Amino acid sequence: MSTKSPISPTVRVQSEDFDPGLEGQRLTAGRKDVGALVSFTGLCRDESGRLSALELEHYPGMAEAELTRIAEEACRRWPLTGLTVIHRFGKITPGNNIVLVIAASSHRRASFEAADFLMDYLKTRAPFWKKEHLASGQDDGWVKAKNADDEAMKRWT
Amino acid sequence: MSTKSPISPTVRVQSEDFDPGLEGQRLTAGRKDVGALVSFTGLCRDESGRLSALELEHYPGMAEAELTRIAEEACRRWPLTGLTVIHRFGKITPGNNIVLVIAASSHRRASFEAADFLMDYLKTRAPFWKKEHLASGQDDGWVKAKNADDEAMKRWT
Amino acid sequence: MNIRYFAWVREKVGIEEETLDLPDSVKTVADLIALLKTIDDRHAAAFEEEEAIRVALDQMHVEHDEVLGTATEAAFFPPMTGG
Amino acid sequence: MNIRYFAWVREKVGIEEETLDLPDSVKTVADLIALLKTIDDRHAAAFEEEEAIRVALDQMHVEHDEVLGTATEAAFFPPMTGG
């Protein structure tokens, strides 16, 4: 992760919601070289009524820094024309947005792979932690990290 | 492609533009079971100034039917909560939208794979043909199908 | 049978669609193509690279050896380039 | 050195951050963890499953054998679950 990133990705860590459509427009407005835009939105689910909310804790400063490192690595690996990563923190209720990744490129394959890569790396390396608030009012607990996420990341090495 | 599709995908073939953000909202509004939304937007490029526009011819009736068959196959292969496919026809200038695929699911992997599959199949099976209008005013020509697209489709068999 | 043409097949044939009464001897898509090539020079030119041309019967993709059966519409077109 | 805790590590330790003067003998992350465990029962409990805990030095991920060097901030947290 040493050479300079060919483009500057947009990285934001915020409690406010984001607008996936608007963020996509920002990567294409006034351009004629973008052929493919892949957008991933991660949302809070209620898991069939089990959850009333997720509480996202993060490491301020490092969250932005690590997301930027991952995003710049994606910009080195694929010929992207634009890349946006937004991750929310705080209490998020079911049906609401948690994370957004948008990769723009001249070609479809690069956009798909970059967005997929970003999500795999983000899950295992970005300093965010989810705590569950249960609809039953019973004890809340921290979400456990999945081995499957670690395995998914290895696809890219 | 015989068993019934578990959900009904939305398929539209139209000359008008579409709004990727709005179409995404339609797949999540009022729901608490959608955890992942992957959206692919394909746009017209000018290929470094070479093209002034693309003209998209289609086979009315079959375009809708074939996109529906591909979309229903995706709904059988992955546990999707929603799927939208929109393909435009007519003259489209650089910077404008051509195609939109949005796959919604509880889980990330299903959304990514379904959107990727849709685009691979759509490229080689949906009855659309692109004609190039050149910026130089020289003879226009039909875009040639790529062997790479046929190869990409074989990933899913 | 209603015959439709798209993209450069349409341009070469010079028409978008036509209706033909097929003799009983025309049983498959390949038979139909052989018949179409005899209509005039433009049809012959359009189907010159016969194997490059894709076919749909009643709006479903089929191979050249497919039997026409009860289909009422056949369409001929180049490999698709949408998306 | 400024020490920060997140998620269940923070809850177990009972504080979000603290500042420690480190003796010269504490050279690596593992040395630092060994020191932290001696502070009180809560620290000891937080670091009980030591290998499960992830570490960052100056906001960069590192392994437990990493040398502290000139780092001014160390952070301890469970495996991440964002996205």
Give the E-state strand segments of chain C in sequence order. 2-5, 17-19, 54-57, 60-62, 73-77
What is the rounded CA–CA span in Å between residue C56 and residue C64?
A: 10
Q: Are the Cβ atoms of A20 and B21 closer than 8 angstroms?
A: yes
Q: How confident is the model at residue B2, as a pLDDT?
A: 60
Identity of the amino acid at A105: S
CA B50, distance to chain mean position in Å, is 24
Residues 22-61 of A with CB under 8 A from B: 22, 24-25, 28, 30-46, 48
B126–C82 C-beta distance less than 8 A: yes
Q: Mean pLDDT throughout C11-23?
A: 98
For residue A137, what pLDDT band results from cuts at 50, 70 and 90?
A: confident
Contact B129 C83 (CB under 8 A): no
Which residues in chain A touch residue B33, judged by CB atoms under 8 angstroms apart?
A: 45-46, 48
CB-CB neighbors (< 8 A) of B94 in chain A: 32
Contact residues of C toward B, CB < 8 A: 4, 6-8, 56, 59-61, 75, 77-83
Rounded to whole angstroms, the Cα distance separating C15 from C22 reads 19
Domains and CATH numbers, chain C: 2-77 (3.10.20.30)
CB C83 within 8 A of CB B153: no
For residues B157 and B124, what is the distance between their CA atoms, to the nearest angstrom? 14
As a CATH number, domain B33-156 is 3.90.1170.40
Structure confidence at residue B149 (pLDDT): 87
What integer is the mean pLDDT of C30-57?
97
pLDDT at residue B63, rounded to an integer: 98
Helices (H), chain B: 20-28, 62-77, 108-125, 147-154
pLDDT above 90 (res B152)? no
| Contact residues on chain A for D60, CB-CB shorter than 8 A | 62, 65
What pLDDT score does A2 carry? Answer: 60
pLDDT computed for residue D70 by the predictor:
97
Phi and psi at residue B146, in whole multiples of 5°?
-95, 135
* Separation CA B19–CA B14 (nearest Å): 13
DSSP symbol at B48: T
| Cβ <8 Å between A130 and D61 | no
Nearest CB to B45 within list A25, A34, A43: A34
Q: Using the beta-carbon criterion (under 8 Å), do A129 and D75 form an inter-chain contact?
A: no
For D4, name the nearest residue in chain A, comparing CA atoms only: A59
Judging contact as 3 or more Cβ pairs under 8 Å, the answer for A and B is yes
Cβ-Cβ contacts under 8 Å, B127 against chain C: 6, 56, 75, 77, 80, 82
Spatial CA neighbour of D1 closest among D61, D48, D53, D71: D71
Which residue is it, tokens 């579409």?
B18
The pLDDT of residue A31 is above 90: yes
Work out the number of other CB atoms within 10 angstroms of the CB of residue A14: 11
> What pLDDT band is residue A148 in, cutting at 50, 70 and 90?
confident
8 Å CB contact of D77 and A59:
yes
Strands D73-77 and D60-62: unpaired
**pLDDT above 80 for A50:** yes
Interface residues from chain D to A (CB-CB < 8 Å): 4, 6-8, 56, 59-61, 75, 77-83
Q: Which two tokens stand for residue B62?
A: 């079959």
pLDDT, mean of residues C6-26: 98
Cα–Cα distance measured from residue C24 to residue B148, given in angstroms and rounded to the nearest whole number = 40
pLDDT in tens, D7-65: 999 999 999 999 999 999 999 999 999 999 999 999 999 999 999 999 999 999 999 99
**Would you say the ipTM is above 0.85?**
yes
pLDDT tens, A84-107? 999 999 999 999 999 999 999 999
pLDDT higher than 90, residue B140: no
- Say if residues A13 and D59 touch (Cβ distance below 8 Å): no
Across chain B, mean pLDDT equals 95
